């Protein structure tokens, strides 16, 4: 490197050091002086444009004014011979930084070089395209290779699996095995991921067999991938057996199983494994906590969720978006909008999902204005709201009857070249329908540019029920039956509408059709979390150990709220001709039982939290308002649609839901 010091462009010793990567591209036996002379001239020319005189590793992808890569430009203009390491470094850098354009430039240069037939470099190029999500180029390059080794196949298989093209990945895997190439742990990892992605357990089992045959069954990577594969193929018990038999486990193996239980709604299993994982000396990661929070959110297990949150802080896992978003969602779904906001504000870095999750939380809690403000803040910050953001803000408007505002956002979205999906139309029907603008909603459906689905008519039907419109409701219900005959919801809604008009004969007829067609109604239930256990109630429940106390409690409450003006609204009970019996049935709705239970088993004065798997009935909603005033406690009720915060005789939804 003696000649390097003579280079005019090397202005300081630190520059010399940083230029080493470039210098190393010079042919070993070239005379430094002449090379450097030519080179400096070129560089100075470039320098007058943009170049500040430094190329080091982090500047490797620096562009020259003509749009090419500076390093390659220098080499061309100086007629230098680059070595293989340059292409290696460039491809790798493009891969790491997902720079497709720069990768293409490098590839073009590489093809013209004397290394163009080096399999290793070709493999790296395939990988570069795959990581940059350009599978077509990766494939093309792969097909053009005169010689392909096991790594070439693995790179492409991995590329397909990471780009969710599982069928192509598997086909290539089969081809590779049939050709007699021996897969390694990398190949098996990606092939298994693909089998899991396609939920093809037959394929997965086949790969599993080949893993054993080639002796990879004890590899941690392969083992974790196997656990994940079986879990995704709905063979979670087999996944567990396999996990238990693993010779070597790491965090990923644990995470795969914890996540699987969380997906299946087996929250308690996730938590149990989480505890075992820690006891076994494994450090939980973002992935682990993310799964745990998701499990707690869907189970309504807030106490455990909070405990896990504390634990995460103790362990020192940073609140990055991926885990933070799930945590935010958990607080939102668990009824704590304050908790959700706190997480949102503390996120180290927010991504689009963070914003959308916060919007969702506001919408679910009926905080429309906050949702709108947040959405506007997002736009002010120059963040591009996506389809889901719009859906969230429209839903938020819908929850408090901000009809025009919601329609405004629908139009804005249309103008912003975002694709209006069917869910957006449903949201608008919901918006109009809840506000009682049924005809407008119907007209909106008829003018839709895409074919209305069952969900669209269902939204209208729901609105017809709330606003007791039998004629339009009947029409909407017919459309739903046509499009989605196996769902119980519309039948129930329709019979409810008939019943609320006193047409019990019609209501009974719908019930009969339902029974004949084998449509099953999911039983309504409510649940309450006390400490770490969840207590579930269904209507007319007489199985709970405290059933007598609960019944007595509710009778007491009922007497008191009657004095305050509560009157049973029996239009929600359908099948009992006798008025008195109808009233009694109503008193045994699952949410009322859950409320009585919750009041009995939680500290005086504190708030109680109840969750329900369908929307709250009108009578219960009314009764809850009275009870909140009577006992002087806040009652938080989550139904499938939103949160109701009952406080001092009124509800946060302002009776709009």
Give the binding site for DNA (CB under 7 A): 120, 123-124, 127, 149, 151, 154-155, 158, 161-162, 184-187, 189-190, 192-193, 196, 219-221, 223-225, 228, 250-253, 255-256, 259, 262-263, 285-288, 290-291, 294, 320-323, 325-326, 329, 351-353, 356-357, 360, 388, 391-392, 395, 423, 426-427, 455
> Shortest approach of DNA to residue 184 CB, angstroms?
6
Of all helices (H) and strands (E), which one includes residue 255?
A: helix 251-263
Pairing of β 608-612 and β 635-638: parallel
In whole angstroms, what is the distance from residue 40 CA to residue 52 CA? Answer: 13
220 vs 407, which CB is nearer to DNA?
A: 220
7 vs 273, which CB is nearer to DNA?
A: 273
Is 172 in contact with 154 (CB distance < 8 Å)?
no
Q: 366 CB contacts (<8 Å, ≥6 apart)?
A: 399, 400, 642, 643, 652, 653, 654
19 vs 643, which CB is nearer to DNA?
A: 643
> Shortest approach of DNA to residue 417 CB, angstroms?
18
259 vs 553, which CB is nearer to DNA?
A: 259
**Comparing C-alpha atoms, which of 226, 222, 280, 229 is closest to residue 251?**
280
Is 21 in contact with 56 (CB distance < 8 Å)?
yes
In whole angstroms, what is the distance from residue 151 CA to residue 236 CA? Answer: 31
Can you name the residues that pair with 537 across neighbouring β-strands? 526
120 vs 588, which CB is nearer to DNA?
A: 120
453 vs 601, which CB is nearer to DNA?
A: 453
> Shortest approach of DNA to residue 429 CB, angstroms?
10
In whole angstroms, what is the distance from residue 421 CA to residue 390 CA? Answer: 11
87 vs 481, which CB is nearer to DNA?
A: 87
Q: 106 CB contacts (<8 Å, ≥6 apart)?
A: 69, 72, 87, 90, 91, 94, 128
42 vs 326, which CB is nearer to DNA?
A: 326
> Shortest approach of DNA to residue 169 CB, angstroms?
10
46 vs 388, which CB is nearer to DNA?
A: 388
> Shortest approach of DNA to residue 623 CB, angstroms?
27
39 vs 460, which CB is nearer to DNA?
A: 460
- Residue 321 CB: number of other CB atoms within 10 A? 18
**Comparing C-alpha atoms, which of 469, 465, 468, 393 is closest to residue 431?**
393
> Shortest approach of DNA to residue 423 CB, angstroms?
5
> Shortest approach of DNA to residue 476 CB, angstroms?
15
> Shortest approach of DNA to residue 505 CB, angstroms?
32
> Shortest approach of DNA to residue 122 CB, angstroms?
8
291 vs 496, which CB is nearer to DNA?
A: 291
136 vs 147, which CB is nearer to DNA?
A: 147
Is 641 in contact with 650 (CB distance < 8 Å)?
no
In whole angstroms, what is the distance from residue 224 CA to residue 250 CA? Answer: 8
In whole angstroms, what is the distance from residue 590 CA to residue 549 CA? Answer: 15
Measured CA angle at 450 (ends 444, 453), to 5 deg: 80
> Shortest approach of DNA to residue 304 CB, angstroms?
17
Residue 392 tokens read as 């969230």
Helical residues (DSSP H) of 401-503, grouped into ranges: 403-415, 422-434, 438-446, 454-466, 470-483, 489-500
Order of strands across the sheet that contains 650-651: 533-538, 525-530, 608-612, 635-638, 643-647, 650-651
Is 626 in contact with 564 (CB distance < 8 Å)?
yes
Of all helices (H) and strands (E), which one includes residue 645?
A: strand 643-647
> Shortest approach of DNA to residue 360 CB, angstroms?
4
Q: What are residue 525's phi and psi, to 5 degrees?
A: -150, 160
> Shortest approach of DNA to residue 403 CB, angstroms?
17
């Amino acid at each position: 490197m003696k000649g390097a010091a003579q280079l005019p462009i090397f202005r300081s010793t630190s520059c010399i050091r940083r230029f080493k990567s470039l210098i190393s591209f010079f042919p070993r036996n070239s005379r430094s002086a002449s090379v450097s002379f030519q080179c400096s001239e070129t560089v100075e020319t470039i320098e007058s444009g943009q170049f500040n005189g430094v190329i080091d590793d982090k500047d490797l992808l620096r562009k020259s004014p003509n749009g090419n890569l500076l390093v390659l430009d220098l080499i061309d203009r100086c007629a230098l011979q680059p070595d293989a390491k340059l292409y290696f470094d460039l491809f790798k850098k493009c891969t790491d930084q997902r720079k497709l354009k720069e990768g293409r430039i490098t590839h073009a240069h590489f093809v013209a070089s004397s290394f163009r037939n080096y399999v290793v470099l070709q493999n790296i190029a395939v990988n570069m395209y795959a990581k940059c999500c350009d599978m077509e180029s990766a494939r093309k390059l792969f097909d053009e290779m005169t010689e392909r080794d096991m790594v070439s196949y693995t790179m492409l298989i991995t590329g397909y699996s990471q780009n969710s093209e599982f069928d192509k990945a598997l086909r290539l895997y089969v081809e590779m095995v049939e050709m007699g190439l021996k897969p390694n742990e990398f190949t098996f990892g990606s092939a298994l991921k693909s089998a899991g992605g396609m939920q093809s357990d037959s394929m997965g089992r086949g790969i599993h067999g080949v893993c054993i045959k080639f002796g990879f069954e004890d590899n941690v990577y392969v083992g974790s991938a196997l656990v994940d594969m079986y879990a995704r193929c709905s063979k979670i018990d087999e996944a567990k057996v396999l996990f238990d038999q693993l010779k070597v486990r790491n965090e990923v193996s644990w995470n795969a199983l914890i996540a699987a239980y969380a997906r299946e709604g087996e929250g308690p299993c996730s938590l149990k494994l989480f505890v075992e994982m820690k006891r076994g000396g494994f450090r939980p990661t973002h992935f682990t906590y993310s799964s745990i929070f998701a499990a707690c959110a869907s189970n309504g297990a807030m106490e455990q969720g909070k405990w896990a949150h504390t634990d995460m802080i103790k362990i020192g896992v940073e609140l990055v978006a991926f885990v933070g978003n799930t945590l935010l969602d958990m607080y939102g779904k668990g009824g704590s909008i304050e908790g959700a906001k706190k997480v949102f504000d503390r996120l180290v870095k927010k991504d689009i999902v963070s914003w959308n999750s916060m919007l969702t939380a506001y919408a679910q809690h009926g905080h429309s204005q906050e949702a709108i403000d947040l959405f506007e803040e997002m736009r002010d910050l120059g963040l591009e709201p996506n389809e889901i953001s719009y859906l969230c803000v429209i839903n938020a408007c819908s929850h408090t009857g901000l009809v025009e505002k919601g329609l405004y956002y629908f139009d804005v979205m249309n103008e912003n070249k975002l694709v209006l999906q069917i869910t957006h139309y449903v949201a608008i029907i919901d918006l109009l329908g809840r506000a009682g603008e049924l005809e407008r909603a119907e007209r909106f459906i008829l003018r839709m540019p895409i074919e209305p689905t069952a969900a669209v008519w269902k939204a209208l039907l729901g609105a017809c029920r709330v606003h007791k419109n039998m004629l339009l409701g009947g029409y909407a219900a017919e459309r739903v039956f046509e499009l989605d005959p196996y769902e119980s919801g519309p039948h129930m809604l329709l019979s409810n509408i008939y019943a609320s008009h006193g047409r019990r004969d019609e209501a009974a007829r719908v019930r009969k059709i339902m029974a004949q067609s084998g449509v099953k109604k999911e039983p309504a239930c409510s649940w309450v979390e006390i400490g770490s256990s969840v207590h579930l109630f269904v209507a007319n429940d007489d199985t709970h150990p405290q059933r007598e106390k609960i019944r007595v409690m509710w009778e007491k409450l009922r007497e008191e709220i009657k004095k305050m003006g509560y009157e049973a609204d029996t239009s929600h009970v359908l099948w009992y001709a006798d008025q008195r019996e109808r009233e009694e049935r109503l008193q045994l709705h699952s949410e009322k039982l859950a409320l009585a239970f919750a009041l009995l088993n939680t500290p005086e004065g504190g708030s109680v939290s109840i969750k329900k798997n369908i929307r709250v009935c009108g009578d219960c909603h009314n009764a809850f308002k009275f009870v909140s005033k009577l006992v002087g406690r806040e009652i938080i009720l989550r139904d499938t649609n939103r949160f109701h915060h009952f406080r001092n005789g009124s509800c946060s939804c302002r009776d709009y839901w």
